[in-house]
Amino acid sequence: MKARSVHIVTLGCPKNRVDSEIMLGSLLEAGWDLSREPEQADVIVINTCGFIEDAKEESIQAILEAAQLKEKGRAKKLVVAGCLSQRYPEELARELPEVDHFLGSGAPVEILRVLEEDAPRQLYPDPDFIQSAATPRRNSLPSYTAYLKIAEGCDNRCAFCIIPALRGKQRSRPIDDIVREAEHLVAEGAREINLVAQDLTAYGHDLPGRPRLHELLHALGQVEGLRWIRLHYAYPRHFPDALIEAIRDIPTVVKYLDMPLQHASDRLLRAMRRGGTSRSLRELLARLRAEIPGIVLRTSLIVGLPGETEEDFEILCDFVREQRFDHLGVFRYSREEGTAAAEMDEQVPDEVKWERWERLMQLQAELRKEQQQAYVGRELEVLVEGPHEETEHLLVGRHAGQAPEIDGQVILNDLSDEDVAPGDLVRVRIDEAYEYDLVGAVVGVVSKAPRRVPERIPLPIFSR
């Protein structure tokens, strides 16, 4: 019997990408093929995001496009999974008759069951699933880099956020299980591992013995062949000295931290139920910079939360001017039913949200120019990624201060006769700087990739 093929579309964050990789791993292990083109697939899976309005609209759009393909094309089944499915089970089931199966956010491993057995149309196990190193998974990034989900769910209750309702309580994976998966990813060619969770800093507080994130980092620091360990989605509370020391002292932990702060006005931080103050945020950022010279900081901020005044917004702008983040994501507040903020008075008009979003993005663009210029003349360690998307005559990579997919690249315009390949670590002298990218010349090879890096598995990814 001809192998059946699946096409998976992933929306949202890297944690959702990992769930798509679990669905892909489960199907490939069972003899299915991955179809690069949805038109050619027997089954189309849309792994949705349901976090904010824009993401919900993109998810619906992707489902409707797949439904049209099913009507016209070859696809026999359409499966909708992920957070939008978890959030609106009855509405989606009623309004999207074209969809054959709906999976909840806790059901990526159930994909085989719904496609091979006589499974119910809707499958919503309690979102208490947490993968392990034994869970089938196929990395969808080039094998020299991978995401590693160390925990799922969240015990915080930020007033604007629906995620705890969709992903459940915090569930951390034991350290030895995470190390096993890291070793597996390294054996598959990974040189960089990007740690993700909803709240990375809360890692382990739900486990017996309450192991902490710094203990996990020390264990991952022992993994042979792993060169870069990156931290995403840290929460600025409960940030122990031991964690700062671990980031500083473990050679393979890159001096990079993604830590959403969301706002800097004390009034707004209280309204957001973030549990911190502008003073505690400043003190933490100062500690990080003092203890880890040259640390690269990425953060996310929200404008337009209910009750945000022009004065609050000015406080936020002053904070951004003062802190000079290396990378900044700005979101317009999205009123999400089921969250505390949705019930708040003084909802901010959309045009005011847009106007503040544009002003903050503009401010960051100006600050960023200076920061980028500061790289000119420096030598950086760069992970080579492959040909430039516009011309195969140029190779690109990322320095340790650039996370995959979100922080810009280093364009290698002079290889100095070095035989450089994807996955290699090289030293690059930076000669030019642009808004997001840097340009430079290879001045030496630090370490060759252990193996030729196979081509990227094309899991279409939309939005972040």
Interface with ligand SF4 by CB under 6 A: which residues? 154, 156, 158, 161, 163-164, 198-199, 235
User: Least CB distance from residue 235 to ligand SF4, whole Å?
Assistant: 6
Looking at the DSSP assignment, which residues form a beta bridge with residue 10?
47, 461
Quick one: 169 or 287, whose CB is closer to ligand SF4?
Answer: 169
User: Least CB distance from residue 162 to ligand SF4, whole Å?
Assistant: 8
Looking at the DSSP assignment, which residues form a beta bridge with residue 196?
149
Quick one: 41 or 197, whose CB is closer to ligand SF4?
Answer: 197
Quick one: 26 or 278, whose CB is closer to ligand SF4?
Answer: 278
Q: Which amino acid is at 105?
A: S
Q: Please provide the DSSP assignment of 392-409 as one string.
A: TTSEEEEETT--TTTS--
Q: How far apart are the C-alpha atoms of 63 and 97, rounded to whole Å?
A: 11
Quick one: 163 or 411, whose CB is closer to ligand SF4?
Answer: 163
280: left (phi over 0), alpha (psi -120 to 50) or beta: alpha
Q: Name 322's Cβ contacts closer than 8 Å, sequence gap at least 6.
A: none
Tell me the angle at which helices 278-291 and 241-249 cross, rounded to the nearest 10 degrees: 30
User: Least CB distance from residue 214 to ligand SF4, whole Å?
Assistant: 19
Integer-rounded Cα Rg, in Å, for the chain is 22
User: Least CB distance from residue 156 to ligand SF4, whole Å?
Assistant: 4
Helix, strand, coil in percent for the chain, rounding step 5:
35, 25, 45
Quick one: 198 or 364, whose CB is closer to ligand SF4?
Answer: 198
Quick one: 102 or 235, whose CB is closer to ligand SF4?
Answer: 235
User: Least CB distance from residue 163 to ligand SF4, whole Å?
Assistant: 4
User: Least CB distance from residue 155 to ligand SF4, whole Å?
Assistant: 8
User: Least CB distance from residue 9 to ligand SF4, whole Å?
Assistant: 23
User: Least CB distance from residue 312 to ligand SF4, whole Å?
Assistant: 19
Q: How far apart are the C-alpha atoms of 193 and 190, rounded to whole Å?
A: 7
Q: Name 2's Cβ contacts closer than 8 Å, sequence gap at least 6.
A: none
412-439 b/e (C-beta count within 10 Å ≥ 16 → b): bbeeeebebbbbbbbbbbbeebeeebbb
Quick one: 9 or 261, whose CB is closer to ligand SF4?
Answer: 261
Quick one: 86 or 143, whose CB is closer to ligand SF4?
Answer: 86
**Structural element, H or E, at residue 414:** strand 410-414
Q: How far apart are the C-alpha atoms of 159 and 175, rounded to whole Å?
A: 31
